[in-house]
A and B are shown apart, each in its own frame.
Chain A
Amino acid sequence: MIIAERKRFEEIRSMLAGYKKILVVGCGTCVTICWAGGEKEVGILASQLRLASNKVGDELTILEATVERQCEREMVEEVKDKVQQVEAIVSMACGVGVQTMADMFEGKPVFPALNTTFMGMPEGEGVWTEKCGGCGDCMLYWTGGICPVVRCAKGLLNGPCGGTRRGGKCEIDPEKDCAWVLIYRRLEKQGRLDLMRKYYEPKNYRAVKRPGKVQAMQA
C-alpha cells in the first residue's frame, strides 16, 4: 500500500495563509492504515488548525470529511457540496488523491497535507518499510520475492556489491540488511540458488514511462 506521512504543521499552516474557510478531506484507504490521513488524522489536523488560529485571533472555519478512496472520482463526488462552501481544500490523501481532488474541483486550490513516500507494508505497530518502487519491470521471480531495486541501497540488479558488512548488513546503512544477502538466503531455502548466476541487464530508464498509463482488458 501507499505510505505517506504528514507534513510539518507549520508548512501546512503557511499554505493556508489568508484563507478563512477550508475543507480538510481524508482518505479511508492506505493513509488511514498508515496513520497519516484518515478520519482521525483529519480531526486532529483540523483541531490543531483551530487552536493555532484562535491563539493569534485569526478567523478560520474548517469543514471536515473523509472519503473511502480519494483516487476515485465517484467517491470524491460525495464531498461536492462541502467543496462549494469553502475557499480552499486541504487533502490528506496520497499524491494521487490530491490530484484527483484538484482535477475535479479546478476552481479551488487543493493543498497536500501529506508527503507520499513509498509503497510498503507494516513491519510492526506503527512501522512501515518500503517494498516496491513501481519500476514497471518486476524481477521478483529471479530474486525470491525480494526487490533489489528498492531494498538494495544502491539498487543493484546483480548484487551484492562486495561491501556487505559482517552480519549481512548494508555498507551504506549498517542498520539495514543487505538485500542481496536476503535474496541469497531466500533462494537457498527454495533450492533456486542457480538464479544467482543469472545476469540481469540494466533497466532501460531512457524509455519514456511517465506519466504511466495502463489499459486493462475487461474480463
Chain B
Amino acid sequence: MSVGRDNRIIAFCCEKSAYLAADRAGRMRLCYPDNVRIIRVPCAGRVGTLHILRAFEEGAAGVLVMGCQEGACQHLTGNLRARDRVRYAAALLREVGMDGERVKMVNLAPDTAEKFVRAVKDMAEEIKER
C-alpha cells in the first residue's frame, strides 16, 4: 500500500452542512474533480483521528473533514473536536514524514455549494503539486 496510489480524496461530510452542500452542488450541476469520495457522517465530530490515518493507509491522497461553521454545530462542539483532531492527525502525518497539508478541516453552511466545490478543487490541486 502506498499513500496516494489512487489519487483519491476522502471527504467526510457532516450530514447537516457539507453533505447538503455537496448535494446542492450536484443539483446546480457544478463540476468538481471525480476523484473525491464522499462519506456522510452525522457530525464532523464523529470522525476520529484513526479514521483519517486509516484513509491514508488505504491509499487516499488527501482527506477533507467538512463540517458546520464554528458556533453552528447541532451537537455544539462536534466541529471543534473535528478541528482539533485534524490538527492532531496532521502532526501525526508529519511525524512519519508525510505532508500534514494532505488533511484539512473545512467549515461551511449547507447552502454553500460553491465553497464545497472550491475546497475539493483546492485539495485536488494541492495533491497534484506534491
**Which residues does A use to contact B, with CB under 8 Å?**
8-10, 40, 43-44, 47-48, 50-52, 54-55
Contact = CB atoms under 8 A, between A and B. Distances in A.
A27 B48 CA distance: 20
A52 B1 CA distance: 11
- By secondary structure, the B interface counts as helix
B53 A54 contact: no
B107 to A, nearest CB: 22
Interface in B87-119: 92-93, 95-98
A50 B98 CA distance: 12
Contact of B56 (A8, A40, A51): A51
Nearest to A51: B96
A44 B95 contact: no
B57 A47 contact: yes
A55 B3 contact: yes
Considering residues A10, A43, A47, which has the most beta carbons from chain B within 10 angstroms of its beta carbon?
Answer: A47
A10 to B, nearest CB: 8
Contacts of B98: 51, 55
B54 to A, nearest CB: 6
A43 B97 contact: no
